[in-house]
Chains A and B, each alone.
Chain A
Amino acid sequence: DSGVTQTPKHLITATGQRVTLRCSPRSGDLSVYWYQQSLDQGLQFLIQYYNGEERAKGNILERFSAQQFPDLHSELNLSSLELGDSALYFCASSARLAGAPSYNEQFFGPGTRLTVL
């Protein structure tokens, strides 16, 4: 158990809908990362937050947005869902060392499996 929690575990929804995935980082971790893993692709970095602020952006679609709240939990919002958005979405957190968050190992949550029908 990494200490990172994600809810829900599974989500089944229809095209055009909007969903919210939730992540609680390890106690004390200030950085949160979101990743998408589709069947035909490897792990794709979406976005990173550090202490409430967006720190880095990857291949995140405009239909997707994220935020990190003052209690450090994070939410990933996916809207106007398409069949191709079906994937496993991981959240990871890393330690609070200042200056270079990417030097710190990441701890991954169990993931949320999203199925868009």
Chain B
Amino acid sequence: ILNVEQSPQSLHVQEGDSTNFTCSFPSSNFYALHWYRWETAKSPEALFVMTLNGDEKKKGRISATLNTKEGYSYLYIKGSQPEDSATYLCAFIRNTGNQFYFGTGTSLTVIP
């Protein structure tokens, strides 16, 4: 069984706060890591696809970093807004078999 862990499980922050969460994955056989944003009653929406150790990606106030040697990725949200409230999922793709392994997500609630 391959474990992809996300922490924390849930997070409540005040509007304007910056926050970050972690996705941990096996450091061997890395192929790619995806981040998704999943709002309640909607479908997951792709945020980033990360492929190289040291990758840093940014989309507006959201950014992500990747460390494949130690097996983790961080997602940062700067100046959280209520519309950022969602579950943030990461998915690890191994270089053998091309399968996707999702974490259980971090549920973020931004309080106005």
Contact = CB atoms under 8 A, between A and B. Distances in A.
Given A2-B43, A43-B44, A108-B43, A103 B89 contact: no
Interface residues of B, number: 23
Interface in A36-70: 42-45, 48, 55-58
B93 A102 contact: yes
Interface of A: 2, 33, 42-45, 48, 55-58, 90, 92, 100-111
Name B's interface SS. strand
A105 to B, nearest CB: 3
B98 A48 contact: yes
Contacts of B49: 103-105
Interface of B: 31-32, 34, 42-46, 48-49, 51, 89, 91, 93, 97-105
Contacts of A90: 43-44
B32 A43 contact: no
B45 A108 contact: yes
Contacts of A104: 49
Contacts of B100: 33, 45, 48, 56, 58, 102
Given A102-B31, A105-B34, A106-B34, A45 B102 contact: yes
B103 A42 contact: yes
Contacts of A57: 97, 99
A110 to B, nearest CB: 6
A42 B4 CA distance: 11
A36 to B, nearest CB: 11
Contact of A102 (B32, B48, B102): B32
A105 B104 CA distance: 19
Contacts of A108: 43-45
B99 A58 contact: yes
A30 B23 CA distance: 28
Contact of A43 (B31, B45, B89, B98): B89
